[in-house]
């Protein structure tokens, strides 16, 4: 756990350092209304490769709602467990931590709407300048879809549902990153910053929620009962268990 947590904290430190560099290195007034943009040479070059694509922009806006649907789905799973088990502490630990993770991600989403590092290179239908760093869609989507894949591995192993949903989440995540990069509403550093922050937060979540690994070599899972569960219903292939209770040890001692 300590090693994984360290990786997450290193990534978080890298994001902070990257943000400082974006704010201070190669700053030029290349933005809308002469606003300053850091790492201007790289950002201006990339922006020259991408024109504003209104259709792609709108599609990424609509696809972005999928992240909130996933958040709602796992919220309902947590609520279901709470109602059935009648105690918050009996809700799966990884689900409770996932709820906290969503709160932190959404807090970062709101924070960087107020803490302006860069403004968008275009208006994208808005009359006022809009904050663009880090790309909030990239941050939200990468963070939510990556943790959703982790939950699928734990709770739906070996099922068609796992394969279908993993393909959907992975494809949606890749589409969002590429779509936001090439629809023309972000600087390159906005996309990289969003991915870096998402990677840091996901790494910390994984270290805390799955300290022994999401999938162990012996096929067991990081829950106390080693069962693959969606709200208490086993959804995977049979698991061979060996009973090692007190009676067994008594028999061994009699030999």
Please give the Cα distance from 241 to 53 (Å, whole number): 55
Q: Where are the domains of the chain?
A: 2-254
pLDDT at 222 over 80: no
- How confident is the prediction for the chain on average, in pLDDT? 80
Q: Which residue has the higher pLDDT, 225 or 12?
A: 12
Calculate mean pLDDT across residues 19-33. Answer: 88
**pLDDT for 43-79, tens place per residue?**
988 888 887 788 888 888 888 888 999 999 999 999 9
The model's pTM is 0.78
Nearest CA to 140 out of 108, 184, 112 is that of 108
Nearest CA to 159 out of 52, 58, 235 is that of 235
Calculate mean pLDDT across residues 82-105. Answer: 90
161, 220 Cβ separation under 8 angstroms: no
Cα 141 to the center of its chain, rounded Å: 6
């Amino acid at each position: 756990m300590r090693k994984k947590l360290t990786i997450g904290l290193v990534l978080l430190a890298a994001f902070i350092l990257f943000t400082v560099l974006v704010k201070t290195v190669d700053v030029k007034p290349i933005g809308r209304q002469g606003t300053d943009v850091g790492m201007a040479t790289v950002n201006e070059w990339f922006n020259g490769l991408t024109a504003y694509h209104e259709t792609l922009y709108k599609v990424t806006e609509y696809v972005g709602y999928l992240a909130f649907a996933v958040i709602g789905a796992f919220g309902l799973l947590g609520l279901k467990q709470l109602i059935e088990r009648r105690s918050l502490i009996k809700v799966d630990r990884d689900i409770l931590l996932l709820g906290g993770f969503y709160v932190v991600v959404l807090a970062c989403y709101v924070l960087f709407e107020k803490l302006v590092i860069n403004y968008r290179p275009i208006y994208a239908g808005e009359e006022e300048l809009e904050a663009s760093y880090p790309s909030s869609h990239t941050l939200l989507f990468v963070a939510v879809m990556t943790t959703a894949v982790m939950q699928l591995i734990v709770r739906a192993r070996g099922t068609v549902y796992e394969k279908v949903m993993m393909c959907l989440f992975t494809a949606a995540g890749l589409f969002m990153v590429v779509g936001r990069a090439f629809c023309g509403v972000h600087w390159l550093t906005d996309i990289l910053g969003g991915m870096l922050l998402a990677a840091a937060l996901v790494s910390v979540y994984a270290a805390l929620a799955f300290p022994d690994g999401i999938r162990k070599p012996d096929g067991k899972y990081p829950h106390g009962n080693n069962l693959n569960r969606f709200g208490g219903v086993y959804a995977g292939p049979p698991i061979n268990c060996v009973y090692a209770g007190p009676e067994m040890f008594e028999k061994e001692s009699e030999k």
